[in-house]
Amino acid sequence: MPALMLILACALWGLSFPLIKALDGEQRMRLPEASGVFLAVWLQMARFGLAALIMLPFVARERLTRTELKQGAWLAVWCGLGMALQAWGLGHTKASTSAFLTQAYCVFLPLLACLRMRSLPGAKIIIATLLVLAGGAILSGIKPGDLSIGKGEAATLAAAFIFTFQILTLENPKYSGNRGLAVTFAMSAFIAVIYLPLSLLLASEPSQVIRAGGSWPSFGIVLVLAVFCSVGAYGLMNTWQPRLPATEAGLIYTTEPLFTAGFALFLPAILTGIVGQAYANETLNPSLLVGGTLIALANVLMQWKRTPHHSPVT
């Protein structure tokens, strides 16, 4: 059950990529003076701020505990900083390279686990990690000559390393009694608080923060992102990931590009009619089939005769 819930979270995250691309096109058409950095920062503030408002009635009945607030704050730091570095790095490297390098956390996780346990990773983890890296490289269309480390690539690797600590924060046993929804609310609220002043700082004028969401298409897309990709996906992650080893969870998260590719086959055409901006569907290709198969095999391998993870979470 935990693995299936995390796969569902990946499916919801996969939905976010075509939505964000459509939103970016709609906003750039309405606000040509807005910088790409401002729009990226504004989206995090709006998306997670709206998510916190949606969750507020459900968590207001019981006061958040100190450990839930603390875990939410740490998750906000890792998630917020990681997404900022990833967005900045994407502006200085190819999207395919960014997508591939972001999966480096599936390498960082077993390495950190080995350092902590002072032992070598098992053969199953090594094989599964290699399958994921090969699948990710094929999906992204990466060639050996493409992997030169510039500032964009370095920033993306740093983001992947930071995402590793986001995953490890959920495995920390001192947070074992925390409620998933309460932690997700705290995380979302903290991210919104972090990004609000940055949005105001990067806006060409204060009213731009309001105007960025000042159309029905933009508000509708942000609402969908808040409900499904923030409340839904992070709620599932924060609730169910503590019931799996962090290394295994990290490999499951690499299925996200498969769902993204699946949604990209049909969703862009639907969004074109909503945002009034041309956005073509992608097509099924051998890279998707081969790369997706390798990533799927890696996750099947990790689930094959898996030893139960005795988590203190109830």
| pLDDT (0 to 100) of residue 129 | 77
Global pTM value? 0.83
State how far the Cα of 55 lies from the Cα of 249, in Å rounded to an integer: 25
Which pair of tokens denotes residue 36? 């790409």
Rounded-to-integer distance, Cα 23 and Cα 313, Å: 38
Task: Give pLDDT, residue 278.
Answer: 72
Residue 150 gets the label, from left (phi > 0), alpha (psi -120 to 50) or beta, of beta
Separation between Cα atoms, residue 67 and residue 188, nearest integer Å: 16
pLDDT of 262-313, one tens digit each?
888 888 888 888 887 777 777 777 877 787 777 777 777 766 655 554 444 4
- Helices 66-90 and 180-202 cross at an angle (nearest 10°) of 50
The C-alpha atoms of residue 132 and residue 292 are separated, in whole angstroms, by 9
* Domain ranges (residues) in the chain: 2-303
| pLDDT, block means (10 residues), the chain with 314 residues | 90 86 87 88 93 94 92 92 76 60 74 71 76 73 62 80 88 89 96 94 93 93 94 94 84 81 84 79 76 76 58 42
